[in-house]
Structure 1
Amino acid sequence: MKFTNALMTFTLSLFALLGMFAAHVSALPLHEDSLEKRDVYVPPVLYPHTGTVWKSGQRHNVTWDISNPPVNITNRIGFILLRSGKFSTPVVLAHGFDILLGRIEVTVPLVLTRSDFSVVLFGDSGNFSPQFQISGLDL
């Protein structure tokens, strides 16, 4: 029993020591020369725009301006969420595309008719379209 307690104490002490070492190493500053410079890319959404009306089930191209991308983009893999009012919904309209494509076709989901929808384009950061309407279910 004494051997088991001693082994357990030793093991816990070893893990604590390794944890402190890992925390110390992760806190060390990196030399700026070792990191490739990256830029956050926030291309403005062009479509949908104010006055746009989508109907559930239709297909539309979400488009964004790619005319001035930085040389080194932090994250080129994009995804698009649907937003309603002030909240992003869990509805993913598209994912896994190159942000430099400038457009991606999406299928309009079945939603309640509202005029406060927007799309959120993610890559480096989230960029919102203006609000537009989706004509779907009417209650």
Structure 2
Amino acid sequence: MFASTKLIAAFSVVAAAAAAVLAAPAVFDPSGAKIDIVYRPHLTSPVEGDSWPIGSQQTVTWDASDIPPEALYQTGVLLLGHLVDGSSNEHLDIENPLASGFQIKNGAVNVTVPKVFPRSDYIVVLIGDSGNASGKFSITLV
């Protein structure tokens, strides 16, 4: 009985370690290695006060000058959301990304402004292995 208790304890330690490794976020690396890294580039446009007409082409930019080598192959998703005063909810439209599959290292992605309700509290959120939001901007009728 004592041997089976030790065996169960050893198995539990191995299972817990495996679960911790499998739960860690990973970045794709073509070499096949699993890399754990969080890289949050600063969004440089749009900035607070910008105005995007519906249907126009816009470029969202971020500073990728300090991207670590481990994040060179990260791809991103760009989501549109909006902020409401007094709420921390970003109201992200995850069903309709503005862009996806682009390389974070490029520092920019072009988008077509969707047909949405005009308002002045829109944000874009860049998601790679973490999310970071722009300042509030407007989407207007043409």
Unaligned runs of 5+ in 1: 1-21
Q: How do 1:93-112 and structure 2 match up within 5 A?
A: 93-112=98-117
2:82·2:92 contact (CA, 8 Å) conserved in 1? Answer: yes
Over the matched positions of the two proteins, sequence identity in percent amounts to 38
TM-score (norm 1): 0.71
Q: Which runs of 4+ in 1 moved over 3 A?
A: 22-26, 35-38
Structure 2 partner of 1:121: 126
Q: How do 1:1-139 and structure 2 match up within 5 A?
A: 25-28=14-17, 38-73=36-71, 76-85=74-83, 86-90=90-94, 91-136=96-141
Shift of the 38–24 alpha-carbon distance from structure 1 to 2, 3 Å rule, reads closer
User: Aligned partners of 2:35, 2:109: CA distance in 1, in Å?
Assistant: 28
Aligned-residue CA RMSD (Å): 2.6
SS in 2 for 1:27: helix
User: Aligned partners of 1:107, 1:135: CA distance in 2, in Å?
Assistant: 13
Which is greater in Rg? 1
Q: Could you tell me how far 1:74 is from its partner in structure 2?
A: 8.9
Aligned residues: 113
User: Aligned partners of 1:63, 1:76: CA distance in 2, in Å?
Assistant: 16
Unaligned runs of 5+ in 2: 1-10, 22-32, 84-89
Whichever structure has more strand as a proportion of its residues is 1
